[in-house]
Amino acid sequence: KQEVTQIPAALSVPEGENLVLNCSFTDSAIYNLQWFRQDPGKGLTSLLLIQSSQREQTSGRLNASLDKSSGRSTLYIAASQPGDSATYLCAGCTSGTYKYIFGTGTRLKVLA
Partner 1 sequence: GAGVSQSPRYKVAKRGQDVALRCDPISGHVSLFWYQQALGQGPEFLTYFQNEAQLDKSGLPSDRFFAERPEGSVSTLKIQRTQQEDSAVYLCASSLRDRREAFFGQGTRLTVV
Please identify, using beta-carbon distances, which residue of 71 and 103 lies nearer to partner 1. Answer: 103
If one asks whether residue 12 binds partner 1 (CB under 8 A), the answer comes out as no
If one asks whether residue 71 binds partner 1 (CB under 8 A), the answer comes out as no
Please identify, among the stretches 14-22, 60-68, 72-80, 88-96, the one whose residues bind partner 1 according to the rule CB under 8 A: 88-96
Nearest to 48 by CA among 76, 6, 10: 76
CA–CA separation, 55 and 8 (whole Å): 22
CA–CA separation, 9 and 50 (whole Å): 22
Instruction: Give residues with Cβ within 8 angstroms of 107, minimum separation 6.
Output: 9, 10, 11, 87
Considering only residues 36 to 65 of the shown chain, the ones binding partner 1 according to CB under 8 A are 36, 41-46, 49, 52
Residues in touch with partner 1 (CB under 8 A): 4, 31-32, 34, 36, 41-46, 49, 52, 89, 91, 93, 98-105
